[in-house]
Structure 1
């Protein structure tokens, strides 16, 4: 049970880190190229959100395999675990997106 909660945290923070790190370094590259960094960071956030989730899950093939076994073989426990892992990674990616969004100034805290 402890490993389950640890994996939830890993998935959350890995996807959060991919979003923030990718957008931050993309903003540095935009600055070096003479483009507006905050706008570039926000554009990158939209493009890499799905990839942050995939990276956090360790690729799509193991996740799809677990979902397949859960659906077709009736192993509900594995299916629920995988859905929770996906939601955790999705939440981390979305929070990373929102942090960059508020940094850019499009939203207000």
Structure 2
């Protein structure tokens, strides 16, 4: 398996895990503290709020990937920039999948 594909899959699952894990733990904390509006609403809200941070965590937690894209494009190397953009897209898809799974689990209100 290529290094790029391995990294893309890893970014997807890291972002997915951040959203899913944070939402599940927030639901548990809501039950333990008996805080309104209830665990399902807390989980749904948190999954939306943490989505962008899950992408940041998956791509490395710094601004370096964005700088890499800028540097590659200004130097005329579009292939490395496209690979980095695809990695960010994979991370976003993982975070969005985690959010959708939480929405599906808690159901409509």
Aligned with residue 54 of structure 2, among 52, 67, 75: 52
CA offset digits 1:25-73 (Å, max 9, x no partner): 0111111111211110001011100000000001232211111112211
Q: What is the match of residue 65 of structure 1? A: 67
Name the stretch that deviates more: 54-63 or 88-97. 54-63
Name the stretch that deviates more: 60-69 or 16-25. 60-69
Moved >6 Å (runs of 4+) = none
Q: What is the match of residue 91 of structure 2? A: 89
Q: Which segments of 5 or more consecutive residues in structure 2 lack a partner in the other structure?
A: none
TM-score by length of 1: 0.93
Please state how far the C-alpha of 1:100 moved relative to its aligned partner.
0.3
Q: Report how many aligned residue pairs link the two structures.
A: 107
In the TM superposition, 1:4-43 aligns within 5 A as 4-35=4-35, 36-43=38-45
CA offset digits 1:78-107 (Å, max 9, x no partner): 111011101100000000000000111129
SS state of the match for residue 60, structure 1?
coil
Distance 1:87 1:77 in 2: 15
Cα RMSD of the aligned pairs, angstroms, is 1.3
